[in-house]
Chain A
Amino acid sequence: MGEFKVHRVRFFDYIPSAIRTMAFNSQTERLAVARADGAVEIFNFNDNFFQEKVIPGQDGRAIEALCWVGHRLFSAGLNGEITEYDLENLRPQYTVDAYGGPIWTISSNSQGTQLAVGCEDGTVKIFAILEERIQFQRNLNRHKGRIISLCWHPSIKTEMELLVDRATGASKNKEVVVWSVGYLSDHTIISGDSAGKVQIWNGLTGTLVRTYLVTKWDVLVLSVSKDESSVIAGTSEGTVIQFQFISSTVDQHDKEWVRTRTFRNHSHDVSALAHTDTAVVSGGMDTQLVVRPLLDKVEKNTQESALRKIAFPHRSLVGCAKKAGLLLFQFPDRLELWKLGESEGHGKPGDRLPVKRKPEKLIELKRKGEDHICCSALSACGGWLAYSTVSNVRLYRIQYSNTISINKVSKLPKELRSVHQLCFSSDSSKLFASSCQSSVIVVAVSQQECRYLHTLKHKTGSRQPVHLLCASDDGKWLATANTDCEIHIYNLHKMKLHCMVPVYNSCPTTIAIHPVTNNLISVHADQQIFEFSLVQKEYTQWSRRLQTQGLLSLWLERDTPITHITFNPKNLDHIILHDTYMFCIIDQSLPFPELNAVLWNQMTLKSLPVSQRIGQSHAFKICKSFQHLMCVSLLEDLSLVVVERPLLDIMSQLPAPVRQKKFAT
């Protein structure tokens, strides 16, 4: 296959934001996760935990609680506002001030008609949920302390349980804060508090039934399973402890709450928990979302039973100008433009070449306004840079002479206001922006002006946001993918819809159009790969063969999605794609691996003499030398750019955990 010069980049200082809270919608199997910077992410648990949507954060929006009401998502935060989100346009739909100071908790009743929020001033406010908005209904009696946590009784209509934080605990001179409560249909109340205890109370008599001391630190969050047979508690130590309502001995029928399992998947506070039917989902200060299947609920030794850690977003935060050798790093609050370094001389495989010129940060661009950056794009020539927040789009012209100049393009068409995805055409003459209702706005970009050309629309009626955009090298085609799993192809010459790729039931995680054959490669959340001929409007032979033979289970069981595809201009059969833990070059000229073949066969091939390699090699050339990949791209000079973000580097920048877990202590 050959040698590659690899620019191994580790200077992308991306730090994910800590997970603050989460809410699981068991009807739609969607998990909403709120991060400390105010961003809300939606994960689809039906589709390999794919991160479908990201609603960018905003300065000052400190979300403390999330709540699903049917398909509607509400949040409340320390800014004192209740927000409902527009999940189609990925932005807040409206906000309502509760006038009770910071809001610590929000909860809806089981009928989805009322929303209760707990406020700093000790009031519980009830809002009626109407179509399109919410309306204040009444205040409950005011309590002395702030309302930290509240919970509705699952079935009784009007009753509501709430606990204030000023409960006095075991030691008299220490205030104990009940961080979280759960209310079960049989009037059992479960509380988790800052003394590290999970306590089970009888709600009818008000008596304490059982106390479990689970940690030296705080129990921060509780979550009750839907069938109320299991409760999980997250602690400051990073552990999640499960309690189950079971009979302690086999024959007995009287059940009690018993501490059963302890999960240790976090290094820091577990501040968000969700109990799905089959798994424990946890997140916290260490920024990773962990899905831990309960082994009694899933089949063992399957993909379903594997622990999943989601550390990076499922979309690319790195842009690469292939011609200019530039990298664009997207942070919530800034963009960084880097020029790659140069080496001299040649080396043999495994060597590290001396760096003649170090990489250089050309531009650091701070965003304006309080909305965080949601997407960005860099043109292939490196001359144009665009980014967007929920409220506006900015386009910059960058000129490289002796010095670098960056000029904001002042007059943008009014259609370019709120976009989810940006993309330049390969000749840098057009900018594509996905907008509301799956539409794509085409804007002509030139030295002189920035002119609105067209809005591309499809006819399926899907209103879901477009999360992937891809233009062909020859400038004729544009492919879009939305979270309804639809992929639309537009003819840019005619400015109209060309065709739609047959809908596959898993969301595309990345798409790309081959520069020569104009075949569309799409990779989906379930790791399937398709090749679709745009000209013939059908799947290619190669794709059909791949589907017939099937992918190896080792490929299908990878737990991070493919987030980027590039092609090798020198060898048209090569497709380069990557996920977090590997990159892979698929050689379309080679046979697919047999079902019993070794997928990671690079070491075997290396040990074989050249003559025997051909017999052993297959289409998937997988390289795992680089880990925690944010981007793998092939520059025009055929050198690879690999952007790594080691988890250890992220860990080292997090605040110290409350208790350092050391080996054998």
Chain B
Amino acid sequence: MKHLPHLEQQAAGGRARVAHTSNTAASALVRLTVIRIWKEDDILLDKAFKATVSSDVWKVHCTHGGEPVVLFQRGAVRLLDSLLAAPQQPIEEVLAQEEAIRWSAIIVTETQQFIIITTEQKGEHFLYLQRLNPNSVQRYRLEREEPGLSPLSFSATYRDKHICLLYLYPNGHVYQSVLSVRGLGTEEGVQALPLPRSLLLGLPVGDGQLEAASAMALDEAHVAVVGVPHPSAGGGKGSLSFQLLGADGGLYDFGRALCLHSTVTGLTVPSHNFIAVYNLKTSLWSYSNKVFIPHGKTLSIIPFECPKSSLASALGKLKHTKTEESKTPNSVPSWNNILHGEKAQPSKSAETRRTRMTRKSQSTTNLTTDQVLELIKTAPVEEIQKEVEGFLTRAEFQDLQPSVGQLALTLVSRSLADPAFYSSSTLAQLVHTRCLCHSVCPDLVLLALEKKDYFLCQLCLQFFPDIPEAVTCACLKAFISIPDVDAEKVSLEPDSVEFMENLITRDRAEAGLQNGFSPTSSVVNDHQTRAEDVKKASAPSQLICPVGLHKAVLINEILQTPYSDTFLLPHLKDLSSQHVVLFLQYLQFLYLKYSQDAFPQMEGFRSPSLSQIMDWVCLLLDAHFTVLVMTPEAKGLLLNLHSFVKSQVRLVSELGKIEGSLQELHKMKAKESIGQYSIEIIELF
């Protein structure tokens, strides 16, 4: 029980409620009107502190960081300490006649404790939100579902100063209501406010209704539902199943998730247990990424993981979604796809699906995800590379999403733990699947940076839509400080290199050679000598790229990463002034290149746009202006930047004028159709 300090257990058929708390180091058992308290280190049943109270107790609520609270059957709430001080104090009746508590929970916020009670009175359901210290209560009326349907389960969570209440009806509808903890207590009383709700999820329940089910919010994006019969199994035999709902609309079969995780955690739950044993009073807890499901004499503990990748790619800061969308097939398994696919064959149960899956993986004599994962933990780099490659080639895209994340995670964690182990190509392969994103594997980019694997960095920057600004900045810092010699050794994505090469060497093409010949056909391959050549020639009009080719390519990747200014600015300030000057010089170089040569945006090449360049210039200046002003070597640069801002302003104003004139022209055009001959009247003044 040590890792389950908040477990509240309702014993089957018993009339006792137990609360356990770690901060008081005591356990309290209540028998209706008697409260007994034990010390944790001395749990002889006889040695108990007993107190008899004047009204029936419903439950003793206790939670981490809060005082134990006693909830009486008639709705009154007392802190345990104050109750014990005067056990016989009168307890008021909050609930009306024939109103009975159905469910209660305690919520602890930063400053306050709340008790949430749901009650039923003549088929109507109410919700009480009771605030403690100072006490106040607000009563809400739940909207009616179809007649005769009562909520099967409630679950309350607190986040962002709001209490989210999730409740499930037998018809499979999961509703969410959001209660503010602020606007409480202004109007105390029995005046029941209607509780606004939103339909979060409609589980398919087939012909009948759910007999017993429980829903619980795991995080803001995922909901676990346990119930009987299986919501998607139709009306046939009763089965217990679990589902995770992603906020992006994806539904994750919990049974499968269990399978995936069972070997990792070492917990195996025979599948028949799920089907055979169930209790009408199904309930569900979660703690520390595990779901606890008591049924009968068994307690199932199922570790889970909320796959964030789907959320990120659906809602992430994907700035260039439009261009990429055509390329990448939708990597997020859609709720509807799964649903309709299964609706077409209603007889298929979770069980058959699972066996089908194993059959499929067995038919090819290759390793399953779990085996690959095991392999990664121990095997040498080459073998891992081979196996992962094999796995990727045969895996279905739908299945790839979670497994790629796990593979990457495991690889990264091994690399972190074992400095000698690092498999660059495997990671690159995984990134190339485009199923990965930063949220799934947050250490990957930093690991690549640490290992100086700039190619992987480039890939990550290219494919991850959700790299945090801090990491972007770290990459930038690392890229800028690579010595040019090292940078040239790195092999990078050829397309981006080619783009940069073109940009740098463009106007060199027409320079002739002393007594040489055919300058048009001579393309010097070695850019390094060419770069030196540029420096030697040092014609003042010629632009010299302030950084080496590969470094420029890497920085270009940074320029194209999506970001938001507010988050990026603080991290940008960490750059040293030399780095800032160099970076600014490079940006200026790019800008001049783009604007001077009327540079055609090369089709097919990933290249930073002019506006991206300008945005970065602005950001850098914002972050470092005061420092730059004081730096003597930045003076010329700032003057240049100033002059090109000025020229931009002038250009824009001129363009405005042109626009005006063009509009005038447009207006004039209507009457302008002079033929070969006309007779007109003019007037001179």
* A positions within 8 Å CB-CB of B: 1-11, 170, 207-213, 248-249, 341, 343, 346-353, 355, 358-359, 585, 602, 605-606, 613, 617, 621, 623, 625, 639-640, 664
Establish whether residues A248 and B680, one from each chain, have CB atoms under 8 Å apart when the complex forms. no
Establish whether residues B539 and A602, one from each chain, have CB atoms under 8 Å apart when the complex forms. no
| Known A-B contacts A2-B684, A249-B540; A211 and B679 likewise in contact (beta carbons under 8 Å) | no
- Inter-chain contact total with CB atoms closer than 8 Å: 103
CB distance from A615 to the nearest CB of B (A): 12
Establish whether residues A606 and B674, one from each chain, have CB atoms under 8 Å apart when the complex forms. no
Within the assembled complex, what's the spacing in Å between the Cα atoms of A358 and B684? 26
Within the assembled complex, what's the spacing in Å between the Cα atoms of A462 and B574? 86
Residues of B within 8 A of A639 (CB): 679
Within the assembled complex, what's the spacing in Å between the Cα atoms of A605 and B513? 64
Establish whether residues A6 and B514, one from each chain, have CB atoms under 8 Å apart when the complex forms. no
CB distance from A339 to the nearest CB of B (A): 11
B685 in complex: contacting residue of A347, A355, A606, CB < 8 Å:
A606
Residues of B within 8 A of A348 (CB): 681
Residues of A within 8 A of B598 (CB): 664
Interface residues of B in 487-524 (CB under 8 A from A): 510, 512-521
Within the assembled complex, what's the spacing in Å between the Cα atoms of A656 and B684? 40
A212 in complex: contacting residue of B510, B538, B674, B682, CB < 8 Å:
B510
Establish whether residues A10 and B677, one from each chain, have CB atoms under 8 Å apart when the complex forms. yes
Within the assembled complex, what's the spacing in Å between the Cα atoms of A5 and B682? 7
Residues of B within 8 A of A208 (CB): 512, 515-517
Establish whether residues A625 and B679, one from each chain, have CB atoms under 8 Å apart when the complex forms. no
Within the assembled complex, what's the spacing in Å between the Cα atoms of A5 and B684? 11
Establish whether residues A355 and B681, one from each chain, have CB atoms under 8 Å apart when the complex forms. no
Residues of A within 8 A of B684 (CB): 1-2, 4, 585, 602, 621, 623
The answer to whether the Cβ of B678 comes within 8 Å of any Cβ in the partner chain is yes
Within the assembled complex, what's the spacing in Å between the Cα atoms of A343 and B680? 9
CB distance from A613 to the nearest CB of B (A): 6
Within the assembled complex, what's the spacing in Å between the Cα atoms of A213 and B511? 8
Establish whether residues B681 and A6, one from each chain, have CB atoms under 8 Å apart when the complex forms. yes
Interface residues of B in 642-685 (CB under 8 A from A): 674-685
CB distance from A351 to the nearest CB of B (A): 5
Within the assembled complex, what's the spacing in Å between the Cα atoms of A151 and B30? 120
Residues of A within 8 A of B517 (CB): 170, 208
Residues of B within 8 A of A7 (CB): 677, 679
| Known A-B contacts A10-B675, A170-B520, A249-B538; A3 and B681 likewise in contact (beta carbons under 8 Å) | yes
Within the assembled complex, what's the spacing in Å between the Cα atoms of A208 and B512? 10
Extra A-B contacts (9), CB below 8 Å, given A7-B679, A211-B513, A248-B539 = A6-B682, A8-B677, A9-B676, A211-B519, A213-B520, A353-B679, A621-B684, A621-B685, A639-B679
The interface bits of chain B over 601-642 (1 if a CB of A lies within 8 angstroms of the residue's CB, else 0) are: 000000000000000000000000000000000000000000
Establish whether residues A617 and B685, one from each chain, have CB atoms under 8 Å apart when the complex forms. yes
| Known A-B contacts A10-B675, A11-B676, A249-B540; A170 and B512 likewise in contact (beta carbons under 8 Å) | no
The closest CB in chain B to the CB of A343 belongs to B679
Establish whether residues A4 and B681, one from each chain, have CB atoms under 8 Å apart when the complex forms. yes
Establish whether residues B512 and A341, one from each chain, have CB atoms under 8 Å apart when the complex forms. no
Residues of B within 8 A of A170 (CB): 517-518, 520-521
| Known A-B contacts A209-B514, A212-B512; A11 and B677 likewise in contact (beta carbons under 8 Å) | yes
CB distance from B264 to the nearest CB of A (A): 58
Within the assembled complex, what's the spacing in Å between the Cα atoms of A640 and B678? 12
Within the assembled complex, what's the spacing in Å between the Cα atoms of A602 and B538? 55
Residues of A within 8 A of B540 (CB): 249
Within the assembled complex, what's the spacing in Å between the Cα atoms of A367 and B162? 100
Establish whether residues A10 and B682, one from each chain, have CB atoms under 8 Å apart when the complex forms. no
| Known A-B contacts A208-B515, A355-B678; A3 and B539 likewise in contact (beta carbons under 8 Å) | no
Within the assembled complex, what's the spacing in Å between the Cα atoms of A355 and B538? 68
* B positions within 8 Å CB-CB of A: 510, 512-521, 538-540, 598, 674-685
Within the assembled complex, what's the spacing in Å between the Cα atoms of A625 and B678? 14
Q: Which 8 A-B pairs have the closest CB atoms?
A: A349-B683, A605-B685, A211-B512, A343-B679, A1-B684, A11-B676, A170-B518, A353-B679
The closest CB in chain B to the CB of A639 belongs to B679
Establish whether residues A355 and B682, one from each chain, have CB atoms under 8 Å apart when the complex forms. no
Residues of B within 8 A of A352 (CB): 678-681
| Known A-B contacts A9-B677, A249-B540; A210 and B512 likewise in contact (beta carbons under 8 Å) | yes
Establish whether residues B677 and A625, one from each chain, have CB atoms under 8 Å apart when the complex forms. no
The closest CB in chain B to the CB of A7 belongs to B679
Establish whether residues A341 and B677, one from each chain, have CB atoms under 8 Å apart when the complex forms. yes
Within the assembled complex, what's the spacing in Å between the Cα atoms of A353 and B521? 64
Residues of A within 8 A of B519 (CB): 211, 213
Residues of A within 8 A of B678 (CB): 8, 352, 355
Establish whether residues A347 and B538, one from each chain, have CB atoms under 8 Å apart when the complex forms. no
CB distance from A348 to the nearest CB of B (A): 7
The closest CB in chain B to the CB of A356 belongs to B679
Establish whether residues B681 and A350, one from each chain, have CB atoms under 8 Å apart when the complex forms. yes
Residues of A within 8 A of B675 (CB): 10
Within the assembled complex, what's the spacing in Å between the Cα atoms of A4 and B681? 6
CB distance from B551 to the nearest CB of A (A): 28
Residues of B within 8 A of A621 (CB): 684-685
CB distance from A9 to the nearest CB of B (A): 6
Residues of B within 8 A of A249 (CB): 538-540
The closest CB in chain B to the CB of A350 belongs to B681
Residues of B within 8 A of A623 (CB): 682, 684
Establish whether residues A2 and B683, one from each chain, have CB atoms under 8 Å apart when the complex forms. yes
Establish whether residues B680 and A8, one from each chain, have CB atoms under 8 Å apart when the complex forms. yes
Within the assembled complex, what's the spacing in Å between the Cα atoms of A605 and B683? 11
Most A-side CB within 10 Å, residue of B512, B679, B683, B685: B679
The closest CB in chain B to the CB of A646 belongs to B674
Residues of B within 8 A of A350 (CB): 680-683
CB distance from B79 to the nearest CB of A (A): 76
A351 in complex: contacting residue of B510, B518, B680, CB < 8 Å:
B680
Residues of A within 8 A of B521 (CB): 170
| Known A-B contacts A6-B682, A248-B539, A613-B685; A213 and B677 likewise in contact (beta carbons under 8 Å) | no
The closest CB in chain A to the CB of B512 belongs to A211
The closest CB in chain A to the CB of B678 belongs to A8
Interchain residue pairs with CB less than 8 A apart (25): A1-B685, A2-B683, A5-B681, A6-B679, A7-B679, A8-B677, A8-B679, A9-B677, A170-B517, A170-B520, A208-B517, A210-B512, A211-B519, A213-B520, A248-B539, A343-B679, A349-B681, A352-B680, A353-B681, A355-B677, A355-B678, A359-B676, A602-B685, A613-B685, A621-B685
Within the assembled complex, what's the spacing in Å between the Cα atoms of A350 and B668? 14
Residues of B within 8 A of A640 (CB): 682
The closest CB in chain B to the CB of A199 belongs to B512
Residues of A within 8 A of B680 (CB): 5-6, 8, 350-353
The closest CB in chain A to the CB of B521 belongs to A170
Within the assembled complex, what's the spacing in Å between the Cα atoms of A617 and B685? 8
CB distance from B539 to the nearest CB of A (A): 6
Within the assembled complex, what's the spacing in Å between the Cα atoms of A585 and B512? 59
Within the assembled complex, what's the spacing in Å between the Cα atoms of A346 and B683? 13
Residues of A within 8 A of B679 (CB): 5-8, 341, 343, 352-353, 355, 639
Residues of B within 8 A of A2 (CB): 683-684
Within the assembled complex, what's the spacing in Å between the Cα atoms of A307 and B359? 84
Residues of A within 8 A of B682 (CB): 3-4, 6, 349-350, 623, 625, 640
Establish whether residues B677 and A3, one from each chain, have CB atoms under 8 Å apart when the complex forms. no
The closest CB in chain B to the CB of A214 belongs to B510
Residues of A within 8 A of B681 (CB): 3-6, 346-353
Within the assembled complex, what's the spacing in Å between the Cα atoms of A347 and B681? 7
Residues of A within 8 A of B512 (CB): 208, 210-212
CB distance from A594 to the nearest CB of B (A): 18
CB distance from A315 to the nearest CB of B (A): 24
Most B-side CB within 10 Å, residue of A4, A9, A211, A585: A211
CB distance from A206 to the nearest CB of B (A): 11
Within the assembled complex, what's the spacing in Å between the Cα atoms of A358 and B539? 65
Within the assembled complex, what's the spacing in Å between the Cα atoms of A517 and B676? 37
Within the assembled complex, what's the spacing in Å between the Cα atoms of A640 and B683? 12
Most A-side CB within 10 Å, residue of B513, B517, B680: B680
CB distance from A558 to the nearest CB of B (A): 18
Within the assembled complex, what's the spacing in Å between the Cα atoms of A548 and B684? 27
